[in-house]
Amino acid sequence: MTQRSEPRPWTATATAAAAAAVAAAVRGGRSLRWWFRGVLGASAYERYVARHRVEHPDHDPLPEREWWRSRQDEATPKGCC
C-alpha cells in the first residue's frame, strides 16, 4: 500500500504571485474594455456630457438618444458632393 503525501500548503510567495497575476489580468481586462469603448465610440456621450457641464453649466445636456441622433445626422452627407 502506498502512502499519500500531504499536499503542500501554499507558500507566501506563491500566494503573492497568484494575486499579482490576477491583478494584472484585471488591469488588462479594464484596459481592453477602455480601448474597445473608445474605438467603438461608446464613451463619446460621456465625454460630451463632461465637456458640456464645464462649458455650459446653466443648460442641461441633450439626452443620450437625442445626442446620438444629432451626431448621426451631422455625419450623414447632405446632397451629392
Which triple of cell numbers denotes residue 58? 446653466
How many domains does the chain fold into? 1
Gap between the terminal Cα atoms of the chain: 87
17 occurs within a structural domain: no
**Residue 22 confidence (pLDDT):** 95
Is the overall model pTM greater than 0.75, yes or no? no
Domain membership of residue 39 (yes or no) is yes
What residue type is assigned to position 46 of the chain? E
Asked if 45 contacts 64 with a C-beta cutoff of 8 angstroms, the reply is yes
Q: Is residue 79 part of a domain?
A: no
pLDDT in tens, 3-45: 766 766 667 788 888 899 999 999 999 999 999 988 888 889 9
Domain that holds residue 53: 29-73
1 in a domain, yes or no?
A: no
